[in-house]
A and B are shown apart, each in its own frame.
Chain A
Amino acid sequence: QQQVKQSPQSLIVQKGGISIINCAYENTAFDYFPWYQQFPGKGPALLIAIRPDVSEKKEGRFTISFNKSAKQFSLHIMDSQPGDSATYFCAASEETSGSRLTFGEGTQLTVNP
């Protein structure tokens, strides 16, 4: 019940295209859903996060869509750039209880020029 399933495992997109990564969870107590971007040899960096009281959050080219009833959330990267090439992790936690993050398996995104 603590798992977060992420897909696809890898994704190749052309410059200017839209990258879409999906995650699904089981634990209905999760109340914090962040996305992290990780470059090789670096720690994860918070990209954008959402809480279940909203269905969508947009920050620049990055949008999270959240479907509470389906227990799914996704990251959309608009106008994808080669500099976006990285590994992306979704995660979830029961923030109100201070619990740890549960991570998805990760998606290796490659944006071709």
Chain B
Amino acid sequence: GAVVSQHPSRVICKSGTSVKIECRSLDFQATTMFWYRQFPKQSLMLMATSNEGSKATYEQGVEKDKFLINHASLTLSTLTVTSAHPEDSSFYICSARSGGGYTFGSGTRLTVV
């Protein structure tokens, strides 16, 4: 089946630094990638939708200058959290449309100290 590989699985960074999260579609081409954020015991909240070769579409309330998304190829999309602060600590998950459904990455636990 379709696999989306997400790295790193967990990262701890200092406040004010930037962190990059990568998602790769291993056996299919991901024209569209979705990025979610999930707080403990809550549902997934869509942050942005990215299409290969074009600018990402951000959901209302999501700062596009803080959460930079790049989808430069059909197999790689990246989310960069810039100038991270403790409130950005969360679980970030990517997803891609594959075949008849959606495949999710394994998630990245970001802790900003």
Bound complex: CA of A106 vs CA of B46, how far in Å? Answer: 15
Closest 7 CB pairs of A and B: A43-B104, A43-B107, A43-B106, A103-B43, A44-B104, A43-B93, A106-B43
In the complex, B61 has a CB within 8 A of chain A: no
In the complex, A12 has a CB within 8 A of chain B: no
State which of A42, A46, A49, A89 has its C-beta within 8 Å of the C-beta of B43. A89
Contacts A43-B6, A43-B93, A98-B97 given; indicate if A89 touches B104 (C-beta within 8 A): no
For the A-B complex, the count of residue pairs with Cβ-Cβ distances under 8 Å equals 48
Contacts A103-B44, A105-B43 given; indicate if A46 touches B106 (C-beta within 8 A): no
In the complex, B42 has a CB within 8 A of chain A: yes
* In the complex, per-residue mask of A59-91: 1 if CB is within 8 Å of any chain B CB, else 0: 000000000000000000000000000000100
In the complex, A113 has a CB within 8 A of chain B: no
Contact between A34 and B107, CB atoms less than 8 A apart: no
Interface size on A, residues (CB 8 A): 21
The DSSP consensus for interface residues of chain B is strand
In the complex, A101 has a CB within 8 A of chain B: yes
Contacts A43-B105, A104-B43 known; list 15 others, CB within 8 Å.
Answer: A34-B102, A36-B104, A42-B106, A42-B107, A43-B6, A43-B93, A43-B95, A44-B44, A95-B100, A100-B34, A100-B49, A101-B46, A101-B95, A103-B43, A105-B43
Bound complex: CA of A95 vs CA of B93, how far in Å? Answer: 20
* In the complex, per-residue mask of A1-45: 1 if CB is within 8 Å of any chain B CB, else 0: 000000000000000000000000000000010101000011111
Which of A42, A44, A89, A106 has the most chain B CB atoms closer than 10 A to its own CB? Answer: A44
